[in-house]
Chains A and B, each alone.
Chain A
């Protein structure tokens, strides 16, 4: 089975801090995604990457950046965390085609 690992399950940060969320997948998938999920708003795509060093903005990229230096690792960066970035962040991996998306367990971030 594909495994997608998010290293931090729960984080509490202060406004203005820089935050790194790490995601690693073990199945050599080209495509990796970062979503945030908020009550009533569903899953919203922040960024995705379809290859090493390649990235594209999703629907809500403002306030975020990403890094994909190795195929297995996709990092989400909050340069200066704000309270409205308090959310559940979900990383996912996808091989393409009609195959399915596999999610990590999520990182619940609280910004005070």
Chain B
């Protein structure tokens, strides 16, 4: 079983739709969680951290479910510019060493 798993997609949604991605992690000792966005042929960039109580940044909402060991990303009112691959990242422990594990990414395609 992979340490961090994501549905690769693609998720094809119309503009204005609401879309949600999940990411499951296998290690219950995981401590911090992030969503990164990666545009085609570019480097991943931080989209948002995921806090225990859930957090929102504009149209984006991130949630953490420790009991079921998954994080989620909800995008409301999808824009064409949201088309990208979304990577979840899990930090097993806060040492900064080889603790960051990436999912393979979920591809989102927003269509006009």
Asked whether, in the complex, the Cβ of A56 is within 8 Å of the Cβ of B104, the reply is no
> Are A97 and B94 neighbours in the complex by a CB distance under 8 Å?
yes
Interface check B42, CB cutoff 8 A = yes
Whose C-beta in chain B lies nearest to the C-beta of A48?
A: B98
**B41: A residues at CB distance < 8 A:** 88, 106, 108
Q: Is the CB of B8 within 8 A of A30?
A: no
State the CA gap A33–B104 with chains docked (Å): 17
- Which residues of B, 57-99, contact A by the 8 Å Cβ criterion? 87, 89, 91, 94-98
Contact B42 A106 (CB under 8 A): yes
Is B25 interfacial (CB-CB < 8 Å)? no
The CB with the most chain A CB atoms within 10 A, among B42, B94, B102, B103, is that of B102
Once A40-B104, A98-B32 are accepted as A-B contacts, the answer to whether A50 and B96 lie under 8 Å apart by CB is: yes
A29 to chain B, nearest CB (A): 9
Q: Across the interface, do A31 and B103 meet the contact criterion of CB distance under 8 Å?
A: no
Contact in complex: B49, A40 (CB < 8 Å): no
In residues 36-56 of chain A, which contact B (Cβ within 8 Å)?
40-43, 45, 48, 50, 56
Binary CB contact string for chain B from 3 to 23 against chain A (1 if under 8 A, 0 otherwise): 000001000000000000000
Tell me the complex Cα distance, A94–B95, Å. 10
Give the contacting residue for B104; candidates A35, A41, A97, A99; CB below 8 A.
A41
Contacts of A43 in B (CB 8 A): 44, 87, 102
Which residues from A are CB-within-8-Å of B44?
43, 90, 103
Binding site for B on A (CB under 8 A): 30-31, 33, 35, 40-43, 45, 48, 50, 56, 58, 88, 90, 94-106, 108
List chain B positions with a Cβ less than 8 A from chain A.
8, 31-32, 34, 41-46, 49, 87, 89, 91, 94-98, 100, 102-105
Provide a sorted-by-A list of 7 A–B residue pairs whose CB atoms are within 8 angstroms.
A42-B102, A42-B105, A48-B97, A48-B98, A96-B95, A100-B46, A106-B41
